[in-house]
Amino acid sequence: MRERLSPPAGSRIDRSRPVAFEFEGRAFTGYAGDTIASALAANGAWCLSRSFKLHRPRGSFGFAGDEAGALVQLESEPNVQADTRAVEPGLRVQAQNTVGGLERDQAALLGRFERFLPVGFYYKAFYKPRGVWNWWEKIIRRTAGLGRVDRSWTPEYFDKAYAHCDVAVIGGGAAGLAAAAACGDQGLDVLLIEREPELGGWLTYGRRKSADRTLDDLRRRVQALTSVRVMTSATCTGWYADNWLAVSQGNRLHKVRARAVIACTGGTSQPAVFRNNDLPGIVSAAAAQRLIRHYGVRPGLRAVVLTTGDEGYAAALDLAEHGTDVAAVVDCRPDPPAGPMASQAEARGHRILSGHTVREARRDSQRLQIGGVLVTRVTGPGACAADGEELDCDLLVVAAGVAPAGGLLAQAGAKFRPSGRGAVPRLESLPAHAYAAGVAAGASTVEEALAQGEQAGLAAAADLSGSAAAAPAIAARPAAAEPTVSWPVFPHPDGHEFVDLDEDVTVREIEDALAEGYEDIELLKRYSTVGMGPSQGRLSAIATAAVTAAAQDSTAAAVGATTNRPPSVPTRFGLFAGRGFQPVRHTPMQGWHVDAGAQMMTAGLWMRPAYYGPPEKRADAIADEVLAVRRAVGLIDVSTLGGFEIRGPDALEFLERAYTPSFRRLRVGRTRYALLTDEQGVVVDDGVAARQGPDHYYVTASTSGAEQLYPLLLWYQAQWQLDVDIADVTSAYGAINIAGPQARRVLEKLGIDIGLSPEACPYLAARTGKLAGVDVRLLRIGFVGELGYEIHPPASQSLGLWQALIDAGRDYGIRPFGVEAQRVLRLEKGHVIVTQDTDGLTHPHEVDLGWALGRRKPFFVGKRSIEILREKGLSRRLVGYAVPDRRAAVPDEGHLVVRDGEITGRVTSSAWSPVLDQAIGLAYVAPDQAEVGSVITIKAARGRLVEAEVVRLPFYDPENLRQAI
Amino acid sequence: MPLGLLKYGLRPRRSPERFLPPRPELKRAYDTVIIGGGGHGLAAAYYLAVDHGITDVAVLDKGYLGGGNTGRNTAIVRANYLTEDGVRFYAESLDLWRGLSGELDFNLQYTERGHLTLAHADSAIRTMRWRAEVNKHLGVDSELIFPDEIAKLAPGLDLSIDVRHPVLAALYHPPGATARHDAVVWAYAARAAAHGVELHSDTEVTGIQVESGRVTGVETSRGTISCNRVLQAVAGQSSLVAGMAGFRLPIHTVPLQACVSLPLKPWLDPIVVSGSLHVYIWQSARGEVVIGGATDPYGLYANRSSLEFAEGTLLPVLELFPFLANVKMLRQWAGMCDMTPDFSPVMGVTPVENLYIDAGWGTWGFKATPVCGKRMAELIATGRTPDLLQPFRLSRFAEFEQVGEKGAASVGH
């Protein structure tokens, strides 16, 4: 490890805690508090990656976590910002986008072919002859892309938290601290969000007077306010509608609702554009100062400083004071105004070359970094002399200006507009309850930032108190701070002046794209890819606007800017996803089913037993369950059925409108089939309505439909405004269907105070009473075609009752049965399952449910449509079919019914019927195929044609003798 | 290295040729005005010129070319629909897509990646088998496949059975493809313009002039134009533009959002869709992972992104691919979807004579760009509705003859 600078330089590192890590397989040591990039820089290693397109060596320019050049690979994480990620013991870091390592990247050969890869080259080639692109695409994909994912990696724990506050202040620099303090003084609840590990922003690394107490005073003032909560290492990644903020901190996403937001997001140091401006070792003035003050790293031995303002002189003074030899300060301005730093630099005898620029940078002969610069005279806007002075250096510090970090503000609806010769965006307007201060709002000095922060804080406080119509605090940028030179863009005949380092886009490529007609800034971006990379234009938008304005002989304001979108910095998927709550609904009998060996299947959010037994015995288990129901008695858990209590004087009227049948003549203690259609007459759900009392109905709904049905019923009620109450009691009740010839005996053995004789409790009766001492609702209905009772006990007592039924039924051969057996049983009985045997356009007449329509009712939802559809005549019908050939393939659900090569329908339900000992099913067919006895052709697996005969429904017990006993 | 690039690189340095023309002055009259400079409108303009010799055409757009849904969709092309009408229509589109880079002499980066729609419930398997059978019957390559085959196509996809929504099967559609959506816009625009079509960006239509039931002109932010025929192709704004001509559409408009990750080296070849988890994912030629989900739950005419989208969409992505938790989202955005009751588009004539409509494209408009442009051009040129478009006529809603695509169109786009 090289020697670090002595304190106070290196405020963030703990020199007592060395941290050993690896980069590209080599061992390095940094200190706790270092970032990966600062620890590497301390060892003289600037190059971190290879560029996206040309595989040029790259490092960090800003050391602020913005650029693709600083993205590195960790074992468990691709695309990590090396310049903000803390270094950890044992960390193994790899450079990205290399073939064979950073030093000897074989893909760098691509750079040699650059002249063959003009802007948008992939639109101009690789597509002839037809189909060849599919081959090229794989190669291009392999060369593109940055980090790698490890498919075997298991994610860590992520979670979320909510926070609320009066005022959220984003950014804890000078302006943010002042704003938070001002709001805190007013007694407001403030959340101060700072992305770095400590508060202070520029004040922690910028050049201040040695006795300056500003930062300490501000921190102390904020810490004294109990109503100000401070979050550090917390990044606001999104500012969504209504001041809804996403703030990531470690593996936690904080979702913050703020009444007002003050954005003090600072600025982004901008690169200058000249040949080879991408070499590692070219850094912003702020980056050099961060390395010195935060990490105690001497950024170079011999530096050149390129500047367009006073900031460069400050950096030069800092460098000189910390042991770096400053070869020259190159100032693009022909007659630099005498700024305080410039005057000091001059006084100390620094060599100052005003009216000059760096025309090109030169690579060091040994290392992947800068080795020198060619400094020449500026001859006009964007032009400089070809000849000048060569200066050797291992560091070039660039102070080309700072752009407001306005991404979050723009997301929230603030408007920026490029202004002045430098094309720097300036804040023009703010949405309601949003404020801005500091560099983001145009401040150029600490004093200005502090004043703006204070002012924004007071404005937000006034806004929230409602005491005054607070004017948005937009500071007028003082004329003195306007750049006095054009943006430093110096095209070079040999190119490699990168406007966008992320995407390897040069000046010429922008000019060529414009010449090709991609003149709108959005088209320019999409074609040239400028601004599409990881930094999303934060370091390229101004230069792009400047180049475009120059090429079009226009102004940056007229060129405009592309849209800012969340997130403000790349944000891990895991933070958005969080812990991943995936609700699962279990019936009260879930544990029993699992213990009994049931194979569980999902049904919406619910889990249901498919059948009981091992998967290898699936078919036998289903057949046994079917036969048990037909011959003895079976028990199925139907707790997943929806249940709604519909009560009130208008309960009947509500049912009459929402459901298709008429319930007017339904007596208390009776049930009726309840079919539901939508406005287009399409079948959407079915269930059973039981009249529990004069103004009280209990209505069931299908397992899959219940969840959508409840809001639908509420929506109807919201429109109809009837005197009725609708309650979803799905989870309040369990439901058990006991079916089979022995069902009545099992109930009687168990003890029931409801008379079960066919006279006392006939088919379709609804009763309440006690079964085994449990209060139950008993519906005598059957889906499976046997004597059956649907028992609805309170959920809390359902498991006990289930067990009691199993015990009581043992002597009668009782068996639990699952969804699969139920499907066979109901199919034998010819009952349709809504959504399986119906689709998005099925109306009742197509599935022979015309009998369930209350035709004399003045209205029900869907009535008009159903009548029109009936008038039009049916285009298809659902029929039952049987396959006479017992050796033929059993069709699958979804197989087509075909005739003369045309599709006339499809199979919706199919099963081997253990009772009939043949393949049966339901299928849509053309109306002229629907007659009983018609022969239809089904295109089964592998295109095999199977003949089937249309038969009368139901297949089983057509006289309904068995369920009426 | 392809010859084209070789030639380009070896010739002396000069400015490239202009590809997209500059915006001309707006004339007072055109034969045909196309409202909407997205893929559909530009494709219609191109085929009007090339197939029918109609070149007195102005394409108007309120912003930049392709700035609406063409530039916002996630660029998936497929034909594995459910209805015969739908499958036939999109199958023709696939045919056109395959030859389109050659025809337009521009690499649209049409890449056949294969398209997997995952089934997490037996009801989904049923619908997918139905789709596969209809597809195969009509000559479209689709197959129901099971986890062992899925694992080969999408390594890394979590196929364990003890997760909340295990993958039980998938509908595999090998011709499923993606294209570079912006390139489609530029190529159609440039080639149409080469035939004389005028492209007017930043030209907002503010009114449609109708006299005795017949369209006679449009009012724009740059003045009024008279014309014989108008095509509206303004996905996301269809009801508003139809309203200017005085008729209503059975459409409600909702935002649809999507996002991309930072670029990664290739790890996923096919497009993977899960209808029940409401998410789809593929990896672009740049290496970005492109992710989309269900439409927003409420109607809105706004392109703002929401946090809820990011949360609700990335959760199921990590269910399918848990190792993506540390992959970073680069950018999220939104477009507007015109949803119809049957999840099928509206193409054809309108109650206003000589005003044609191309709308109702919900979440599935991009893939239809060539076929829709070609057939709408045919309709405009001949006045006769092509058979392929007949099922999608606007009057079908009043006639109860919908094209039910809900099962195949709702997610996966």
Q: What is the DSSP string of A720-787?
A: H--S-EEEE-TTTB--EEEESTTHHHHHHHH-BSS--STTTS-TTBEEEEEETTEEEEEE---SSSSS
Q: Please choose, from the candidates A809, A640, A637, A823, the residue with its C-alpha nearest in 3D space to the C-alpha of residue A740.
A: A809
pLDDT tier at B410 (50, 70, 90 boundaries)? low
pTM: 0.94
A92-95 and A71-74 as β-strands: parallel, antiparallel, unpaired?
A: antiparallel
- For the structural domain made of A641-732+843-869, what CATH number should be given? 3.30.70.1400
A354 vs A377: CA distance, rounded Å: 8
Q: Is B310 on the interface with A (CB under 8 A)?
A: yes
Angstroms from A115 CA to nearest CA on chain B: 5
Q: Please choose, from the candidates A897, A892, A964, the residue with its C-alpha nearest in 3D space to the C-alpha of residue A934.
A: A897
A336 vs A324: CA distance, rounded Å: 24
Residue numbers of B between 78 and 97 with CB closer than 8 Å to A = 84
- Across the interface, whether the CB atoms of A115 and B9 are under 8 A apart is answered yes
Tell me the CATH architecture of domain A159-268+404-465. 3-Layer(bba) Sandwich (3.50)
- Across the interface, whether the CB atoms of B323 and A116 are under 8 A apart is answered no
B213 vs B211: CA distance, rounded Å: 5
Buried/exposed code over A782-803 (b: 16+ C-beta within 10 A; e: otherwise): bbbbbbbbbbbbbbebbbebbe
Q: For residue range B195-204, list pLDDT tens digits in order.
A: 999 999 999 9
A271-400 has the same fold as A159-268+404-465: yes
Q: Is A156 on the interface with B (CB under 8 A)?
A: yes
Strands (E) across A827-928 are located at 877-882, 896-899, 902-913, 918-925
Cis omega (within 30 of 0) on the bond before A567? yes
HSE, CB side, 13 Å, CA atoms: give it for residue B229: 22
| A497-562 is a CATH 1.10.3470 domain | no
Q: For residue range A69-92, list pLDDT tens digits in order.
A: 999 999 999 999 999 999 999 999
Mutation to test the A interface, candidates B326, B330, B340, B405, most A Cβ within 10 Å = B326
Q: Is A112 on the interface with B (CB under 8 A)?
A: no
A221 vs A200: CA distance, rounded Å: 13
Cβ count within 10 A of residue A892: 18
Q: Is A128 on the interface with B (CB under 8 A)?
A: yes
Helix axes A521-528, A541-552, angle to 10 degrees: 110
A838 against B12, higher pLDDT:
A838
Alpha helices in A877-936 (DSSP H): none
pLDDT tier at A561 (50, 70, 90 boundaries)? confident
SS3 (DSSP) at B70: helix
Chain A residues within 8 A of B18 when measuring between CB atoms = 515-517
A140 against B368, higher pLDDT:
B368
- CATH C-level class of A624-639+733-825: alpha beta
Domain ranges of chain A: 1-151, 159-268+404-465, 271-400, 497-562, 624-639+733-825, 641-732+843-869, 875-965
Q: What percent of chain A has pLDDT over 70?
A: 98
A52, A134, A571 ranked by CB distance to B329: nearest: A571
Amino acid at A486: S
Alpha-carbon separation of residue A866 from A928, A930, B36 (angstroms): 21, 20, 38
Q: Output the six-digit token pair for A63.
A: 């050391």
- Across the interface, whether the CB atoms of A580 and B318 are under 8 A apart is answered yes
Alpha-carbon separation of residue A716 from A129, A679, B204, B383 (angstroms): 59, 12, 40, 43
Is residue A460 within 8 A of residue A260, CB to CB? The reply is yes
Contacts with A858 (C-beta within 8 Å, 6 or more apart), sequence order: none
Supply the pLDDT for residue B13. Answer: 66
Cis omega (within 30 of 0) on the bond before A954? yes
pLDDT tier at A469 (50, 70, 90 boundaries)? low
pLDDT tier at A141 (50, 70, 90 boundaries)? confident
A137, A146, A411 ranked by CB distance to B264: nearest: A146
A61 vs A410: CA distance, rounded Å: 24
Q: For residue range A243-278, list pLDDT tens digits in order.
A: 999 999 999 999 999 999 999 999 999 999 999 999
- Across the interface, whether the CB atoms of B137 and A903 are under 8 A apart is answered yes
Is residue A188 within 8 A of residue A231, CB to CB? The reply is no
- CATH C-level class of A271-400: alpha beta
Mean pLDDT of A571-576: 98
Chain A residues within 8 A of B320 when measuring between CB atoms = none
Angstroms from B332 CA to nearest CA on chain A: 6
pLDDT tier at A796 (50, 70, 90 boundaries)? very high
Supply the pLDDT for residue B408. Answer: 67
Supply the pLDDT for residue B351. Answer: 97
Q: For residue range B137-183, list pLDDT tens digits in order.
A: 999 999 999 999 999 999 999 999 888 899 999 999 999 999 999 99
Q: Please choose, from the candidates A176, A266, A667, the residue with its C-alpha nearest in 3D space to the C-alpha of residue A450.
A: A176
Alpha-carbon separation of residue A228 from A163, A173, A177, A216, A812 (angstroms): 13, 15, 10, 16, 72
Q: Is B106 on the interface with A (CB under 8 A)?
A: yes
Q: Is B179 on the interface with A (CB under 8 A)?
A: no
Supply the pLDDT for residue A479. Answer: 40
SS3 (DSSP) at B60: strand
Mean pLDDT of A758-779: 96
Q: What percent of chain B has pLDDT over 90?
A: 89
Tell me the CATH architecture of domain A875-965. Beta Barrel (2.40)
- Across the interface, whether the CB atoms of B333 and A244 are under 8 A apart is answered no
- Across the interface, whether the CB atoms of A520 and B64 are under 8 A apart is answered yes
Q: Please choose, from the candidates A331, A315, A423, the residue with its C-alpha nearest in 3D space to the C-alpha of residue A377.
A: A331
Residue numbers of B between 230 and 259 with CB closer than 8 Å to A = none
Is residue A319 within 8 A of residue A397, CB to CB? The reply is yes
Give percent helix, percent strand, percent coil of chain A, each to the nearest 5.
30, 30, 40
| A1-151 is a CATH 3.10.450.50 domain | no
A838 vs A25: CA distance, rounded Å: 62
Angstroms from B323 CA to nearest CA on chain A: 5
Mutation to test the A interface, candidates B107, B181, B200, B319, most A Cβ within 10 Å = B107
- Across the interface, whether the CB atoms of A130 and B318 are under 8 A apart is answered no
In degrees and rounded to multiples of 5, residue B285 shows phi and psi of: -65, -25
B16 against B172, higher pLDDT:
B172
Cβ count within 10 A of residue B147: 17
Q: Virtual CA dihedral for A229, A231, A232, A235, nearest 10 degrees?
A: -140
A520, A869, A943 ranked by CB distance to B201: nearest: A520
Q: Is the pLDDT of residue B10 over 80?
A: no
Contacts with A697 (C-beta within 8 Å, 6 or more apart), sequence order: A645, A646, A647, A651, A652, A655, A663, A689, A690, A691
- Across the interface, whether the CB atoms of B16 and A154 are under 8 A apart is answered no
List of domains in chain B: 25-75+181-251+342-409 (3.50.50.60), 114-175+253-339 (3.30.9.10)
Supply the pLDDT for residue A525. Answer: 97
